[in-house]
With several copies, the nearest count.
Chain A
Amino acid sequence: MNIEEYLRRDYVATLLKEGRRIDNRKLDEFREIKIEKGYSSEKAPGSAFIYLGNTKVLVGISMDVGEPYPDRPESGVMTTNVELRPIASPLFESGPPREKAIEIARVVDRGIRESGAIDLEKLYIEEDRVWIAFIDIHVLDDGGNILDAAGIAAIAALLDTRIPRYEDGVVVRGEWTGKLPVTCTPVPVTHAKIGDKLVVDPNLEEEYARETQLTVTTTDTINAMQKSGIGAFSSEDVDSAIDTSFKKAQEIREIVEG
């Protein structure tokens, strides 16, 4: 860490002691969210481009037909992959996904899977043939809080997704038979702990200054939680983060579904 980084980190923390954030947001305020559904609609069955402040993420959904898992023969399959593309940050490297990308993918996946957001039973086609929904999260500009951007764009993309025609064992590209059955809108909300304060939706500078963070994904219940990073939370921290998460998720849900 060089001097400049250290000073900015210090500045973020000092401001927060006074209850102020470096970009003047309230502690529980998200940056502006813009979502463009259907961004890659000429090819992808579903897609959404999100701007979460400076953070830019494109999620595309591919629909393919394949075999179900042996222990769930009548259920469709979903799979989530995150690519922290090197274009998104001078700190990202080429190569197979690492720790950070895998953690983000798994937390986003759990929110969608555990809430039952995709009605996988409706993705059954015939014996040994089900729809597979690939959720590919393509991170293009890292302005902080990639996790929430990814999770919000993922559910937005799923809401945008059409199911292709499937005839004589072949997926007919570019023709659609209906929408992907989506039952609810799980939204992850990430809380960074800086000093003894919690802030939602940390930007890049807040990420440098934070110790640890907690992500809570909710629908009308809690569906996924993940503490990440070195450091500790008190149980009061977590209680407060959960309450805030329900509230912020509802606001964001309106944007996603709108």
Chain B
Amino acid sequence: MAEKEMKLIVDGKRLDGRKFDELREIKMEVNVLERTMGSAYVEWGNNKVLAGVHGPREFHPKFLRDPRKAILTCTYNMAAFSVDDRKRPGPDRRSVEISKVISDALSSVAVLEKYPNTGIDVFVEVLQADAGTRCVSIVAASLALANSGVPMKDLVSACASGKIDGEIVLDLMKEEDNYGECDLPVAISPRRGDILLLQMDGNLTREEYTKAYNLAVEGAKKVYGMQKKTLLDSMVNLEEGE
């Protein structure tokens, strides 16, 4: 972050004309694939992300099964052509880390105890990437999981905030992510208000953190509204966990 010089706020407006607390445009859909138990598609700015769930199903290898609950594993993958410079196929260190933090967040709300000894595999395919893919992915993965019928104590909603040209703003796009001073992705359990994912890199004072955190949570709550509407529209009953 903060390497090259680039003016990101001009006349009080961001490069794409958004206000500081404004989300990019978001579209959502569920039940978009045939071969998965549940699936979702999310467009968020220029990001296009597909998520799908296989399972609950037999977990291999056998000796790693958990007799108390299902093991939920998320695999985040970027298509080679999803970014400007072609990405070699296969997992790199970044995608291994993102897969892990998404797995952790989803596992925190899914009622895994219902399916002992099984595996639930959530696959996230980034078809076009434009900053903020981990939040888009977690939102899509959460929709796909709900769409699959696995009971959840709550949905997972997410949004990032950040700092550009010294200002705290919501939902960074590509240039803001590249040349900004900080990125703070947050995923929450919206009904409970709990934090399920929190990462940050860059540089924030104590006060800036609070401001950025609150802004991200506000964003995530707006996204939650869209998630609920999408699921209701699709006539899928989201089982509300106890």
Direct touching of A and B (C-beta under 8 Å): yes
Q: Which residues of A approach B to under 8 Å, CB–CB?
A: 39-40, 42-44, 47, 54, 56, 58, 60-62, 64, 71-72, 75, 81, 83, 85-90, 94, 96-99, 102-103, 105-106, 110, 113-115, 134, 136, 138, 140-143, 173-174, 212, 214, 221-235, 237-239, 242-243, 246
- List the A side residues contacting B201 at CB < 8 Å: 110, 113-114, 223-225
- List the B side residues contacting A212 at CB < 8 Å: 104, 108
Q: Which residues of B approach A to under 8 Å, CB–CB?
A: 1, 3-4, 33-36, 39, 46, 48, 50-52, 54, 57, 75, 77, 79-86, 89-90, 93-94, 96-97, 99-101, 104, 107-108, 121, 123, 125, 127-130, 184, 189, 192-206, 209-210, 213, 217
Q: Can you list 7 contacts pairing A with B, beta carbon distance less than 8 Å?
A: A47-B81, A72-B3, A99-B99, A113-B201, A226-B198, A233-B198, A237-B195
Contacts A62-B86, A110-B201 given; indicate if A230 touches B34 (C-beta within 8 A): no
Q: Complex: how many Å from CA A222 to CA B81?
A: 30
Contacts A42-B46, A43-B128, A238-B195 given; indicate if A134 touches B34 (C-beta within 8 A): no
Q: Are A43 and B206 in contact (CB under 8 A)?
A: no
Q: Complex: how many Å from CA A85 to CA B3?
A: 35
Q: Are B108 and A230 in contact (CB under 8 A)?
A: yes
Of chain B, the residue at the smallest CB distance from A61 is: B81
Q: Are A227 and B86 in contact (CB under 8 A)?
A: no
Q: Are A85 and B123 in contact (CB under 8 A)?
A: yes
* A234: contacting residue among B50, B195, B200, B202, CB under 8 A: B195
Q: Complex: how many Å from CA A125 to CA B100?
A: 38
Q: Are A40 and B130 in contact (CB under 8 A)?
A: no
Contacts A58-B79, A141-B35 given; indicate if A85 touches B202 (C-beta within 8 A): no
Q: Complex: how many Å from CA A212 to CA B48?
A: 30
B76 nearest CB across to chain A (Å): 11
- List the A side residues contacting B100 at CB < 8 Å: 99, 102-103, 228
Q: Complex: how many Å from CA A173 to CA B174?
A: 13
- List the A side residues contacting B192 at CB < 8 Å: 232
The 3 residue pairs across chains A and B that have the minimum distance between CB atoms: A60-B81, A232-B194, A62-B86
Q: Complex: how many Å from CA A99 to CA B100?
A: 7
Q: Are A102 and B82 in contact (CB under 8 A)?
A: no
Q: Are A102 and B96 in contact (CB under 8 A)?
A: yes
Contacts A99-B96, A173-B84 given; indicate if A227 touches B198 (C-beta within 8 A): yes
- List the B side residues contacting A142 at CB < 8 Å: 35
- List the B side residues contacting A90 at CB < 8 Å: 35-36, 54, 57
Q: Are B75 and A134 in contact (CB under 8 A)?
A: no
Q: Are B193 and A43 in contact (CB under 8 A)?
A: no
Q: Are A222 and B209 in contact (CB under 8 A)?
A: yes
Q: Complex: how many Å from CA A39 to CA B196?
A: 32
* B79: contacting residue among A105, A136, A223, CB under 8 A: A136
Q: Are A62 and B80 in contact (CB under 8 A)?
A: yes
A14 nearest CB across to chain B (Å): 20
- List the A side residues contacting B206 at CB < 8 Å: 222, 242-243, 246
- List the B side residues contacting A40 at CB < 8 Å: 48, 79, 81-82, 127-128
Q: Are A136 and B81 in contact (CB under 8 A)?
A: yes
A69 nearest CB across to chain B (Å): 10
- List the A side residues contacting B81 at CB < 8 Å: 40, 43-44, 47, 60-62, 134, 136, 138
- List the A side residues contacting B197 at CB < 8 Å: 227
Of chain A, the residue at the smallest CB distance from B178 is: A71
Q: Are A230 and B104 in contact (CB under 8 A)?
A: yes
Q: Are A86 and B123 in contact (CB under 8 A)?
A: yes
- List the B side residues contacting A72 at CB < 8 Å: 3-4
